Amino acid sequence: MAVAALDRAETWSDDERRAAQWGRLFGALPELLLANAFYRRKLADAGVSDVREITALADLEFTTKAELSQDQTEHPPFGTNLTYSTDRYVRLHQTSGTTGRPLRILDTLDSWRWWRDCWRAIYRAAGVTSTDRVFFAFSFGPFIGFWSAFAGAEALGSLCITGGAMSTSERVAAIVASGATVLMSTPTYALRLAEAARQEGVDLVRSALRVSIHAGEPGASIPATRERIESELGVTAFDHTGATEVGAYGFSCEARDGVHVIESDFIAEVLDPVSGAAREDGEGELVMTNLGRWGMPAIRYRTGDRVRAVRGRCACGRTLLKLAGGISGRVDDMVIVRGVNVFPSSIEAIIRTFDEIAEYRVELVAAREMNELRCGIEPRPGAGVDLGERVATAIHRGLGIRCLVEMLPPGSLPRFEMKSKRFDRAPTSSSATLGS
């Protein structure tokens, strides 16, 4: 893609970016502090009484999920992070609830349009246009991701096809019958679709699908997973990141080595886990501020996602911040196995290099006061008898830890449509499986 095709905001210098982002946030602060009880209280707690005392992002406090959750408990049902009266809001969505009680999130018509517009950058980078037919392999429940993606594709002029309330084989049939060219799903579910298609004698490589965009897990930024999706579906696979509380903020470009942050609409910061300092790049927890959802904003929101953020000009021409390798996991997902820091995504990166594995599950168990990894793998037909041994060797080589690998019967592990739960912890007992 030529640089000329990019938006001006995608090639900002650092100074241009900072000025534009701060201008947009600062422009909204007076109304916010006047009308939004949640943020007015936070500012007052921090000793700020006048918006003119705020001269930099660092003057504003972080927002945590625990705070928002507590606020909704104390002020049901929506909490106090509302800038307008409730009749101004047109949509209610909920967080997935994988990390605590679901949060209720409201959007006004304006902020919903903003969500939709954020998707423009994501689709454009993947080469999706008005001539595409986009299939959404999701349930269309209360989670915001696919609703916003659907609205974004519709605004683009694409033909939007919902895959809600369908079984996996019904979805395969619908993709083929409708001539869908773009698939939206989690990385895991894309592989599940390919598996179901094979079982029914359908080769999705020969279907009209040419692009896939994935979210919910980092798979599309993990080379082995991405290559597998691409070869099994005959697509070019792209990654996307977003959060219900924040917005649809990230997309992978043709370099596909991570996701760019849409910095015209979001301010990203990285919180150093050791010093607690927030920086413009580096490794740590992603902190996000959105710049267009003023009805229920997120200011310096701690996402809990662990990233390695890199600045500079990408091969695609963009100067937008890049989260290298996508989101490597939740900050609290990291486990320590015999002194080695391990993320679920680093295990996935190794396991997905084995074509003979259909599905897998990793369990962390406490054995003799030490954490130990156990991995269950479901082999595909024709897998070698030494598969378990080869996987254990690869994990040992790649991560420096020993892992007990167990072969499981075909079809015994769940295939997830939403965020996959392949990583179980049983920290207090050697046999119990918790956290799934």
Which residues sit at the interface with Zn ion, rule CB under 5 A? 253, 255, 314, 316, 318
At its nearest, how many Å lie between Zn ion and the CB of residue 307? 16
Nearer to Zn ion, 68 or 126 (CB): 126
Radius of gyration from C-alpha coordinates of the chain: 22
At its nearest, how many Å lie between Zn ion and the CB of residue 326? 13
At its nearest, how many Å lie between Zn ion and the CB of residue 260? 6
Nearer to Zn ion, 313 or 396 (CB): 313
φ, ψ dihedrals at 69, nearest 5° = -65, -45
Q: Is 387 helix (H, G, I), strand (E, B) or coil?
A: helix
Nearer to Zn ion, 255 or 277 (CB): 255
Nearer to Zn ion, 248 or 253 (CB): 253
Nearer to Zn ion, 323 or 426 (CB): 323
What's the DSSP call for residue 280?
Answer: S
Contact 128, 235 (CB under 8 A): no
At its nearest, how many Å lie between Zn ion and the CB of residue 253? 3
Q: Within 13 A of 195's CA, how many CA atoms are on the CB side?
A: 22
At its nearest, how many Å lie between Zn ion and the CB of residue 122? 13
Q: Show the beta-strand stretches assigned E in 233-338.
A: 236-243, 247-251, 258-261, 266-271, 278-279, 282-290, 301-310, 322-324, 329-330, 335-337
Nearest residue to 7 via CA among 252, 263, 199, 217: 263
At its nearest, how many Å lie between Zn ion and the CB of residue 318? 5
Contact 255, 236 (CB under 8 A): no
Q: Which residues pair with 426 in a beta bridge?
A: 365
Nearer to Zn ion, 253 or 299 (CB): 253
Q: Residue 124: which residues within 8 A CB-CB, separation 6 or more?
A: none
Angle (deg, nearest 10), helices 144-156 and 109-125: 70
- C-alpha 211: how far from chain center: 18
Nearer to Zn ion, 172 or 323 (CB): 323
Alpha-carbon distance 238 to 321, whole Å?
17
At its nearest, how many Å lie between Zn ion and the CB of residue 342? 28
Nearer to Zn ion, 19 or 255 (CB): 255
At its nearest, how many Å lie between Zn ion and the CB of residue 217? 21
Contact 151, 119 (CB under 8 A): yes
φ, ψ dihedrals at 190, nearest 5° = -60, -40
For tokens 């993990």, the residue is 222
Nearer to Zn ion, 90 or 255 (CB): 255
What distances in angstroms separate CA 119 from CA 17, 149, 153, 414, one per listed residue?
20, 6, 8, 30
For tokens 């083929």, the residue is 176
Nearer to Zn ion, 228 or 318 (CB): 318
Nearer to Zn ion, 316 or 335 (CB): 316
Helix (H) or strand (E) holding 87, with range, is none
At its nearest, how many Å lie between Zn ion and the CB of residue 11? 11
At its nearest, how many Å lie between Zn ion and the CB of residue 263? 13
DSSP-assigned letters across all residues of 94-160: E---TTSSPPEEEEEHHHHHHHHHHHHHHHHHTT--TT-EEEE-S---S-HHHHHHHHHHHHHTPEE
At its nearest, how many Å lie between Zn ion and the CB of residue 126? 12
